[in-house]
Structure 1
Amino acid sequence: MFPLVIAAQRNAAKMNNNLPQLQILQMKMTEARQSGNQLDAARYSQETVMFMKEKGVNPLKNMLVPLAQAPLFISFFMGLRGMSNVPVESMRTGGLFWFTDLTLPDQYYLLPLITSATLYLTIELGTDSARLGSTNMQTMRYVLRALPICILPFIINFPGAILCYWVSTNFISLGQVAFLRIPAVRQYFKIEPLVAHTADSLPVKPKGFVTGLKDSWTNMKITKELEDRQRVDEIKFQRAGRGPIQKTYKYDPTRPTSSTAAGKDPIVSAKNRD
């Protein structure tokens, strides 16, 4: 996993150092989308893609480590749970300190608490190094911060073997983060030094959780409305191409006019219209 961690750290450093330019493009794209200007929104989206390609930045690279760890974690989780349910006899006395029996939950609830605490530190240090700057990313950061607290009631009754493995993995991750913060180590692995951005130097100012959540919800609704509008326009365009020529009027046909009173036909065929 270490090569993937290095690749993710390099990408996170590049994203942090180019954050002001990325935020400017994201602001322009959001404003164009909110105003309904799809042409400008598409143009700024393309400019953002080209800028990230030029700087060698890809937000998906930050997901390499979690995606690679997920199948391994699930495999170990299912394997250890199955061994605890059998149970494997050696696991009854293979623990440490107060959790000698790895097939039973921790009666003092210390392992679940340590697991949640180390998971929180891992998420906090990981998202801090990634410098999540956009509104959606800030909202994701708040959600990730709440994750260790939300899972605590569910892991209280986990066997000690699973929590022991989970805690060990968290400590290894924390050690990697601390190791990769050493300047000499970053230079050896060709990880760019992080540029410190103040709140005043960034185009997008930090927002609270509620404000960020509202902005994300508003952007989602606007995007959905634009997609629905585009879908309706496409349907109308297809019907216009297949159907008969529709009659058009020079004025509102629902309102009486002098021409209708005189017996003139206000209907003008689309073929004869200038």
Structure 2
Amino acid sequence: MWRLARARRWAPPAAAAPRAAASGGPGAWYESAARSAPVHWAEQAFLSLQAAGELPWWAAIACGAALLRTAVTLPLAAHQGRLLAKLENLQPEIKSLAQRLRYEVSARGKQMGWSEKVARLHFQRNLRRLIAELYVRDNCHPFKATLLPWVQVPMWLCVSLALRNCSVGAAGPEVKEQLSAGGTLWFPDLTAPDSSWILPVSLGLVNLLLVEIFASQRMEASRLQKLATNFFRVVSVVMVPVAATVPSSMALYWLSSSLVGLSHNLLLRSPPVRRLCLIPRTKSESDTPYRDLLAAWAAKYSFRR
């Protein structure tokens, strides 16, 4: 098994499968992505992890998901937390600047005879400039907070396609044979979908729990935030039948990744952990986050009127 993994590790990406034809068909883009170098590297990473640890394939998939989320996305989540905390702490200063600027623009507008529309344009232009200067001063531009999904989503896709390749034999018949006997409990065959639907339904429940945790962070959400929350609720539900049609190896990876992400999200709510990650304290931060989370859920989903 180790010799097989070592031999495959040094195979060039082009040797894994021939390139998709340029003319292609409806699924040409999918096949091209499945044969790409990042997906090939993900295959080799799982083969090396499974061989080095002599793990059954179900454990290698779960451990791989935990390692990726801990080594890659957890530091990015902590970085995102620092940026969002800085942005929240800037709001009182931004509000004060806006009030002073509105007074100055109003006074200047009366001297220059500006119309209300012109005065509003001057106010908005100068306010954007002042806010941008604050972002530079505190190194907390909001766009930097989007780094986490820009890394997490492509990584999730590459690993999913790598496990798909391993399950359908595109990574080699030997690997497919190992996966077919590498499951456990109710999913002994990792190349077949989970006919019991336990993995898909568990995935949907964990993802919905994650969405509700994010939704509970702000008591008064904007219209855009409410739309985003409902969108991710729908995605969480849609992922259930999708996970029921793919190989169990992929569904297991998705569930493992979501479980680790849930644990990281709860961990980063702890004040001592937040200080350890250098996340500044904010006005909205609670000393009892888990108790407050349970209380918010109890109030939101209580059947008593």
Q: TM-score, normalization: structure 2?
A: 0.54
**Using the alignment, how far apart are the partners of 1:47 and 1:138 within structure 2?**
29
Hey, what does 2:197 align to over in structure 1?
109
Hey, what does 2:31 align to over in structure 1?
none
Number of residue-to-residue matches in the alignment: 193
Which of the numbers 184, 191, 195 marks the counterpart of 2:283?
195
Structure 2: runs of 5+ lacking an equivalent: 1-71, 103-116, 286-305
* TM-fit CA distance, 1:23: 7.8
- Gap change, CA 1:155 and 1:25, over 3 Å in 2: farther
**Using the alignment, how far apart are the partners of 1:22 and 1:119 within structure 2?**
35
**Using the alignment, how far apart are the partners of 1:41 and 1:120 within structure 2?**
38
1:96 is paired with a residue whose SS is coil
Hey, what does 1:78 align to over in structure 2?
161
One-letter identity of the residue aligned with 1:45:
R
1:104 is paired with a residue whose SS is coil
Which of the numbers 224, 240, 243 marks the counterpart of 1:152?
240
Structure 1: runs of 5+ lacking an equivalent: 30-34, 198-274
Q: Residues 99 and 106 of structure 1 are in contact (CA less than 8 Å); yes or no, is this contact kept in structure 2?
A: yes
- Deviations along 1:31-78, one digit per CA (max 9) or x if unpaired, are xxxx79544333333233233334443222322221112222111111
- Deviations along 1:112-138, one digit per CA (max 9) or x if unpaired, are 111122222234434655899654344
Equivalent positions of 1:45-64 (< 5 A) are: 45-64=128-147
**Using the alignment, how far apart are the partners of 1:53 and 1:133 within structure 2?**
27
Hey, what does 2:126 align to over in structure 1?
43
2:278 is paired with a residue whose SS is coil
One-letter identity of the residue aligned with 1:11:
L
Hey, what does 1:178 align to over in structure 2?
266
Which structure has the greater CA radius of gyration? 1
Which of the numbers 78, 95, 99 marks the counterpart of 2:183?
95
One-letter identity of the residue aligned with 1:73:
W
- Gap change, CA 1:149 and 1:158, over 3 Å in 2: same
**Using the alignment, how far apart are the partners of 2:245 and 2:183 within structure 1?**
16
* TM-fit CA distance, 1:22: 5.8
One-letter identity of the residue aligned with 1:111:
L
**Using the alignment, how far apart are the partners of 1:3 and 1:157 within structure 2?**
33
Q: Residues 93 and 102 of structure 1 are in contact (CA less than 8 Å); yes or no, is this contact kept in structure 2?
A: yes
- Deviations along 1:131-186, one digit per CA (max 9) or x if unpaired, are 99654344323322332123333332111000101111111111212222222222
Equivalent positions of 1:28-39 (< 5 A) are: 37-39=120-122
- Deviations along 1:203-245, one digit per CA (max 9) or x if unpaired, are xxxxxxxxxxxxxxxxxxxxxxxxxxxxxxxxxxxxxxxxxxx
Hey, what does 2:60 align to over in structure 1?
none
Q: Does 1:165 align with 2:165?
A: no
**Using the alignment, how far apart are the partners of 2:276 and 2:127 within structure 1?**
36
1:114 is paired with a residue whose SS is helix
Quote the RMSD (CA, aligned, Å): 3.4
Q: TM-score, normalization: structure 1?
A: 0.59
1:15 is paired with a residue whose SS is helix
